[in-house]
């Protein structure tokens, strides 16, 4: 039986890990390598690391940092941030990263998606969509860490990128980011029927119950979260955590049994 994936998402800012709220107010939560070591010990399903500075500062990905992460990481690793060309993607892939996440370049130049896929394989190309509710219904897609609003039509875009051959879509709700009040089910409900590649959702999970609800509704899905795995308690004390095997089995058994 294939299991739903529970995926911590770590944000890198000024070489440290941070956690944001609605993409703002980054709070320092620790050292990336140290976090990876802890997630190794906890036998985490997968890990996603996003450098939230690279695209905004228009700089190259930090290859040295990626190499160090990949070397330490004993679970599948997805890296995103600053990737603009197939050459950069290939270089990161060769450092030992399983999945390459792109966002702004997927919007600016869809040809690059195809080029990256032909180098590293469709299955390793992940498109991250940072979306935010419009004032009067619907959603906009943002890039550059939530700074720039793109002109793409979300539904059309989701269909187009799948035609190009990608391996996964990460749907990230800017409105729910860091709020820890649950996933944006309205958004997921709208897009789920249109997505035929693996889908991972991010933004809003505040408890394992939130993850459970997601699994109950959608079965095979990637449940990603930042705050849930780096904070503890209502004062948001920094503490890296992840459900142990029993907790995970219970969560999945209660909500998803085939």
Partner 1 sequence: MIAIIDYGLGNVMAFANIYKNLDIPFKIAKCKDDLTMVTKIILPGVGAFDHAMQRLQESGMRETIDELVLEKKLPIIGICVGMQMLAQSSDEGNLQGLGWIDAKVKKFDKTLLDKNSPLPHMGWNSIKIARPNALMSEIDDEARFYFLHSYYFECNQSNECIATAFYGNDFTCIVNKQNIYGVQFHPEKSHHNGIKLLHNFGRL
The backbone region for 195, taken as left when phi is positive above 0, alpha when psi lies in -120 to 50, beta otherwise, is beta
Q: How far apart are CA 139 and CA 153, in angstroms?
A: 8
**Cβ closest to partner 1, residue 6 vs residue 52:** 6
Residue closest to 12 by CA, chosen among 59, 87, 65, 70: 65
Q: What is the largest CA-CA distance in the chain?
A: 46
Nearer to partner 1, 14 or 94 (CB): 94
Tokens of 59: 């700089």
| CB closer to partner 1, 139 vs 256 | 256
Residue with tokens 């739903």: 4
CB of 80 to partner 1, least distance (A): 17
Catalytic site residue from 45, 62, 130, 177: 130
Nearest distance in Å: CB 33, partner 1 = 14
Q: What is the C-alpha to C-alpha distance for residues 227 and 178, in angstroms, rounded to an integer?
A: 6
- Site for partner 1, rule CB under 8 A: 1-5, 43, 45-46, 70-71, 74-76, 94-96, 98, 118-124, 167-168, 193, 195-199, 218-222
**Sign of the CA dihedral 152, 156, 157, 160?**
negative
| Cβ-contact 16, 28 below 8 angstroms | yes
Q: Which is nearer to partner 1, 32 or 206 (CB)?
A: 32
CB 198, min distance to partner 1, A? 5
Closest CB to partner 1 among residues 18, 215: 215
The least CB distance from residue 44 to partner 1, in Å, is 9
Please, what is the angle between helix 32-41 and helix 63-72, to 10°?
Answer: 20
Q: Which is nearer to partner 1, 146 or 243 (CB)?
A: 243
CA distance 72 to 36: 7
Q: Smallest gap, in angstroms, from Cβ of residue 45 to partner 1? A: 6
How many of the other CB atoms lie within 10 Å of CB of 234? 7
- Lookup: tokens for 183: 């996933």
- Least separation, in Å, of the C-beta of 168 and partner 1? 7
Under a CB-based contact definition with an 8 Å cutoff, are residues 186 and 162 in contact?
no
Q: Is 130 labeled as catalytic in the residue annotation?
A: yes
CB atoms within 10 A of CB 127: 25
Catalytic residue IDs: 130
């Amino acid at each position: 039986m294939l299991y739903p994936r529970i995926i911590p998402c770590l944000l890198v800012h000024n070489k440290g890990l941070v956690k944001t709220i609605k993409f703002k107010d980054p709070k320092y939560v620790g050292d990336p390598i140290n976090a990876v070591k802890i997630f190794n010990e906890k036998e985490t399903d997968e890990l996603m690391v996003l450098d939230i500075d690279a695209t905004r500062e228009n700089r190259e990905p930090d290859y040295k940092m990626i190499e160090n992460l990949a070397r330490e990481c004993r679970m599948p690793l997805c890296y995103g941030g600053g990737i603009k060309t197939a050459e950069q993607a290939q270089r990161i892939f060769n450092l030992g990263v399983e999945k390459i996440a792109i966002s702004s370049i997927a919007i600016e130049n869809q040809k690059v998606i195809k080029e990256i896929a032909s180098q590293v394989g469709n299955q390793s190309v992940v498109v991250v969509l940072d979306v935010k509710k419009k004032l009067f219904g619907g959603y906009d897609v943002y890039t550059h860490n939530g700074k720039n609003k793109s002109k793409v039509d979300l539904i059309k875009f989701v269909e187009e990128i799948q035609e190009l051959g990608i391996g996964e879509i990460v749907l990230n709700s800017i409105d729910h980011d860091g709020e820890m009040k649950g996933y944006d089910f309205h958004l997921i409900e709208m897009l789920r029927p249109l997505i035929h590649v693996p889908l991972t959702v991010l933004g809003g999970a505040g408890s394992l119950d939130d993850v459970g609800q997601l699994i109950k509704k959608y079965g095979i899905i990637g449940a990603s979260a930042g705050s849930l795995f780096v904070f503890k308690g209502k004062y948001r004390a920094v503490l890296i955590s992840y459900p142990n095997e029993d907790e995970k089995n219970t969560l999945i058994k209660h909500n998803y049994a085939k």
